[in-house]
């Protein structure tokens, strides 16, 4: 089956612009308590292991079984060190910028960045593709760093709207440019594997700032995304 092209006309929510950021539903800060990092990673793993073991006990699982007895520890390590490692600011990717020696003044696009995240409402996977573009303000960044920023913000409990804004605002900050575009096309397992059980629908979100608010520039970006 031919994959549906990404177009603003099919995005189920509006694109997210600067003036939207003060609205509570589009706040781009992940909700965290002030004491979120008082415990070390190892202490968090120990506590989560205990709590998840209790969850499995409540579900009636036999934790003496060889296949299950190590699960609480595995889940705890996965939560802290992998799936939600982006909650810890210590894991924020370092930034190294380079002079734009080629005087390249056109749009730079990196598309089809694969990401895996978790819905903060049910803690089940969100996964899909992120497409990023920017105009250099005199500096450029290694392409792999863009991927790392995407993964950093994806590796936390998320809603797709917030993830879109976080990536966009971070690229504005690290690149010192007001001209950033981000489009995310994602599958939500909270829709596919539970509730309505729809395995075909996808969700699209977009962040546009600076030059990307111009319809011609926006269209050029979307054409790059849809070009095989």
Q: What is the pLDDT of residues 53-67, one digit of tens each?
A: 999 999 999 999 999
Active site (annotated) includes residue 118: no
- 109 pLDDT more than 70: yes
- If you write DSSP's letter for every residue of 71-89 in order, what string do you get? HHHHHHHIIIIIITGGGSG
Asked if 213 and 17 count as a contact pair (C-beta separation under 8 A), the reply is yes
Which residue in 49, 188, 215, 220 is the catalytic one? Answer: 188
Can 188 be counted among the known catalytic residues? yes
Does the annotation mark 110 as catalytic?
no
Give yes or no for residue 5 having a pLDDT over 70: no
Alpha-carbon gap, residue 89 to 152, rounded angstroms:
9
Enter the DSSP assignment of 16. B
Amino acid 200: pLDDT: 65
What percent of the chain is modeled with pLDDT above 70? 84
Active-site option among 120, 151, 170, 172: 120
- Residue 101: the pLDDT is 86
Q: Round to whole Å and give the CA distance between 207 and 226.
A: 17
Residue 225 tokens read as: 């995304």
Give the pLDDT mean for 193-222: 87
Any idea what the Cα angle at residue 49 is, between residues 46 and 53, rounded to 5°?
145
For residue 8, pLDDT beyond 50? no
Task: State the CB neighbour count (10 A cutoff) for residue 163.
Answer: 26
pLDDT at site 71: 98
What SS3 class is residue 25?
helix
Residue 23 known to be catalytic:
no
When mean pLDDT is compared across 108-112, 124-128, 215-219, 223-227, the lowest value belongs to 223-227
38 given a catalytic annotation: no
Of 151, 160, 166, 170, catalytic: 160
Q: pTM here?
A: 0.86
Backbone angles phi, psi at 23, to 5 degrees: -75, 135
Q: Is 88 left (phi over 0), alpha (psi -120 to 50) or beta?
A: beta
Q: What is the mean pLDDT of the chain?
A: 88
Map out the domains of the chain with their CATH numbers.
41-89 (1.10.286.10), 96-226 (3.30.1130.10)
CB 68 within 8 A of CB 62: yes
What's the confidence (pLDDT) of residue 65?
97
The percent of residues above 90 in pLDDT, for the chain, comes to 73
Please identify which of the residues 34, 122, 161, 166 carries the catalytic annotation: 122
Which residue of the set 18, 110, 119, 220 is catalytic?
A: 119
Is residue 220 among the annotated active site residues?
no
pLDDT tens for each residue of 61-96: 999 999 999 999 999 999 999 999 999 999 999 988
Mean pLDDT of the 45-53 span: 98
Take residue 142 and report the two structure tokens written for it.
Answer: 């290694």
Query: In this model, does residue 160 exceed pLDDT 50?
Result: yes
Question: CA 208, CA 185: separation in Å to the nearest integer?
Answer: 15
């Amino acid at each position: 089956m031919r994959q549906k092209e990404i177009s603003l006309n099919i995005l189920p929510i509006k694109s997210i612009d600067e003036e939207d950021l003060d609205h509570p539903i589009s706040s781009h800060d992940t909700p965290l308590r002030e004491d979120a990092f008082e415990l070390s990673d190892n202490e968090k793993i120990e506590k989560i292991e205990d709590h998840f073991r209790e969850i499995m006990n409540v579900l009636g699982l036999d934790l003496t079984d060889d296949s299950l007895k190590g699960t609480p520890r595995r889940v705890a390590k996965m939560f802290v060190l992998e799936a939600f490692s982006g909650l810890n600011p210590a894991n924020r990717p370092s930034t190294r910028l380079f002079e734009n020696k080629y005087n390249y003044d056109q749009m730079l696009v990196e598309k089809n960045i694969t990401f895996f995240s978790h819905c903060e409402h049910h803690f089940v996977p969100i996964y899909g593709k992120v497409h990023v573009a920017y105009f250099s303000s005199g500096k450029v960044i290694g392409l792999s760093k863009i991927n790392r920023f995407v993964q950093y913000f994806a590796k936390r409990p998320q809603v797709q709207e917030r993830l879109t804004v976080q990536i966009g605002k971070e690229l504005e900050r690290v690149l010192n440019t007001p001209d950033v575009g981000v489009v995310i096309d994602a599958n939500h397992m909270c829709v596919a594997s539970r509730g309505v059980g729809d395995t075909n629908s996808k969700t699209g979100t977009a962040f546009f700032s600076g030059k990307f608010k111009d319809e011609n520039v926006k269209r050029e970006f979307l054409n790059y995304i849809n070009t095989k």
